[in-house]
């Protein structure tokens, strides 16, 4: 397609570019002089000049790349007949790390906006390049860390009997409430818990905080559920009624979050009921747990969503980013996982539009 010259978007001219343009004009003049000398007819000389490269322009003048993508556009040459191939260009990257060169390709390296310049035959063209992470499409307020799927166990999501955390470790006895035996936990969760506990101990005077439950195997959950059912049967309920009643307090095997190894029930050694929220420890936990990557997994006003009665003592490790998002936006894990799925769908819709 022939584009009239007056519609071309020209480059921002820098002194260097003026210098280069002057060189380019000089070389055109020289070429004309040479042509005139070697060609007998003036008209033939002008026809020859039309094929000379006169201008380089990037269209569009700005592009957006995701981290890891390769920049592979070439400037448009004017007139079109003067088109150059890729090897004819010299590229200039700013020293800001937004773009990098890998195996002879220009690759988007990190978030930011930069300028890339291509030069050929004393002409230059620049293009603005914005690099962003794939999980951060513009105009979205949703968190984009859907790459990091959060495991969830609830009435809808059932774990297998052999789902066991890979980094399970025994919790040192001093962290566990008396007479609760040896408890196990995911090492990553325990490290975060230690940081949380240190902070709580420094801010809550006379702080008492002990773990009363952490990892629970599928078999152990089976036992707890069966025991709960039995208690209701002993109280005079039919076995069907007893099973339903047991569900109010105890999850069926595979549906307890404790099997994930990143949930902890805590106690201040006096209170393991709803009054825990009114203790200094319970209050501190509600306000600060997210700073250490934990959320109160079963909030009072989310019972209809979690289908678990309010548990101010049950914390779940999800990492600081997710925990902070959930705390600030007041969403429980079920809502958050749904948001992650929405974000993922939106991001894929966005990338497939490009
Ligand atoms: Zn619990």
Q: What is the CATH number of the domain that holds 171?
A: 3.30.1380.10
What gap in Å lies between CA 136 and CA 159, rounded to an integer? 31
Distance of CA 232 to the CA centre of its chain: 46
Residue 15 belongs to some domain of the structure? yes
Are 130 and 113 in contact by the 8 Å Cβ rule? The answer is yes
Lowest mean pLDDT among 27-36, 215-224, 259-268: 27-36
Distance, CA 263 to ligand 1 centroid (Å)? 7
User: Hey, is 24 helix, strand or coil?
Assistant: helix
* Domain stops at, among 65, 97, 132: 132
Tell me the residue range of the domain where 329 lies: 145-216+256-349
- Cα angle 17, 21, 24 (rounded to 5 degrees) comes to 140
Distance, CA 119 to ligand 1 centroid (Å)? 64
Distance, CA 146 to ligand 1 centroid (Å)? 25
List, for residues 129-168, the tens digit of each pLDDT value: 998 765 433 444 444 455 577 899 999 999 999 999 999 9
* Domain stops at, among 85, 109, 132: 132
Distance, CA 209 to ligand 1 centroid (Å)? 15
Q: Are residues 175 and 106 in the same domain?
A: no
List, for residues 169-210, the tens digit of each pLDDT value: 999 999 999 999 999 999 999 999 999 999 999 999 999 999
What gap in Å lies between CA 200 and CA 284, rounded to an integer? 7
Q: Are residues 306 and 187 in the same domain?
A: yes
Distance, CA 256 to ligand 1 centroid (Å)? 8
Better pLDDT: 22 or 277: 277
* Residue keyed to tokens 């007893």: 242
Residue 221 belongs to some domain of the structure? no
Are 313 and 282 in contact by the 8 Å Cβ rule? The answer is yes
Distance, CA 126 to ligand 1 centroid (Å)? 59
Distance, CA 314 to ligand 1 centroid (Å)? 5
Distance, CA 143 to ligand 1 centroid (Å)? 27
Residue 239 belongs to some domain of the structure? no
Q: Please, which pLDDT band fits residue 37 given cuts at 50, 70 and 90?
A: very low
Looking up residue 9, the CATH number of its domain turns out to be 2.60.40.1080
Residue 158 belongs to some domain of the structure? yes
Distance, CA 306 to ligand 1 centroid (Å)? 13
Q: Please, which pLDDT band fits residue 352 given cuts at 50, 70 and 90?
A: low
Q: What is the pLDDT of residue 348?
A: 67
- The total domain count for the chain is 2
For residue 298, pLDDT beyond 90: yes
Q: Are residues 197 and 76 in the same domain?
A: no
Q: Are residues 300 and 342 in the same domain?
A: yes
Distance, CA 342 to ligand 1 centroid (Å)? 28
Lowest mean pLDDT among 16-25, 201-210, 243-252: 16-25
Tokens representing 202 are: 């420094």
For residue 257, pLDDT beyond 80: yes
Residue 244 belongs to some domain of the structure? no
Q: Are residues 127 and 54 in the same domain?
A: yes
| Beta bridge mates, 262 | none
Q: What is the pLDDT of residue 157?
A: 94
Q: Are residues 110 and 159 in the same domain?
A: no
Q: Which helix (H) or strand (E) holds 232?
A: helix 218-234
Instruction: List CB contacts of 37: < 8 A, sequence separation 6 or more.
Output: none
Residue 231 belongs to some domain of the structure? no
Distance, CA 230 to ligand 1 centroid (Å)? 20
User: Hey, is 290 helix, strand or coil?
Assistant: helix
Q: Are residues 198 and 110 in the same domain?
A: no
Q: Are residues 128 and 207 in the same domain?
A: no
- Strand order of the β-sheet with 105-108 is 70-71, 105-108, 99-102
Q: What secondary structure does DSSP assign to 239-281, as a single string?
A: HHHHHHHHTTT-PPTT--GGGGS-EEEEE-SS--SGGGGGSHH
- pTM of the complete model beyond 0.75: no
Q: Are residues 155 and 90 in the same domain?
A: no
């Amino acid at each position: 397609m022939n584009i009239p010259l007056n519609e071309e978007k020209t480059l921002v001219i820098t002194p260097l570019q003026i210098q280069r343009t002057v060189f380019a004009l000089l070389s055109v003049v020289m070429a004309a002089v040479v042509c005139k000398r070697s060609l007998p007819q003036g008209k033939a000389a002008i026809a020859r000049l039309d094929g000379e490269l006169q201008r380089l322009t990037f269209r569009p003048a700005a592009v957006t790349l995701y981290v890891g993508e390769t920049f592979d556009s070439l400037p448009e040459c004017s007139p079109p007949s003067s088109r150059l191939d890729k090897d004819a260009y010299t590229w200039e990257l700013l020293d800001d790390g937004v773009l990098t060169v890998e195996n002879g390709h220009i690759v988007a390296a990190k978030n930011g906006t930069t300028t890339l310049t291509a030069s050929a035959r004393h002409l230059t063209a620049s293009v603005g390049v914005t690099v962003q992470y794939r999980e951060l499409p513009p105009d979205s307020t949703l968190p984009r860390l859907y790459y990091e799927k959060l495991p969830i166990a609830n009435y809808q999501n059932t774990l297998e009997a052999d789902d066991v955390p890979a980094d399970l470790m025994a919790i040192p006895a001093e962290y566990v409430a008396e007479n609760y035996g040896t408890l196990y936990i995911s090492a990553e969760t325990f490290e975060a818990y230690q940081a949380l506990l240190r902070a709580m101990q420094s801010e809550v005077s006379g702080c008492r905080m002990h773990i009363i439950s952490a990892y629970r195997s599928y078999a152990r959950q089976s036992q707890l559920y069966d025991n709960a059912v039995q208690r209701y049967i002993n109280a005079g309920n039919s076995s069907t009624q007893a099973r339903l009643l047991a569900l109010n307090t105890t999850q069926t095997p595979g549906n307890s979050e404790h099997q994930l190894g990143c949930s902890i029930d805590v106690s201040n050694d006096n209170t393991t009921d709803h009054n825990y929220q009114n203790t200094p420890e319970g209050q501190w936990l509600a306000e600060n747990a997210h700073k250490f990557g934990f959320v109160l997994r079963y909030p009072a006003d989310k019972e209809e969503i979690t289908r678990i009665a309010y548990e101010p003592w049950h914390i779940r490790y999800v990492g600081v980013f997710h925990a902070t998002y959930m705390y600030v936006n007041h969403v429980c894990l079920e809502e958050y996982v749904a948001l992650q799925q929405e974000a993922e769908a939106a991001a894929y819709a966005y990338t497939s539009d490009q």
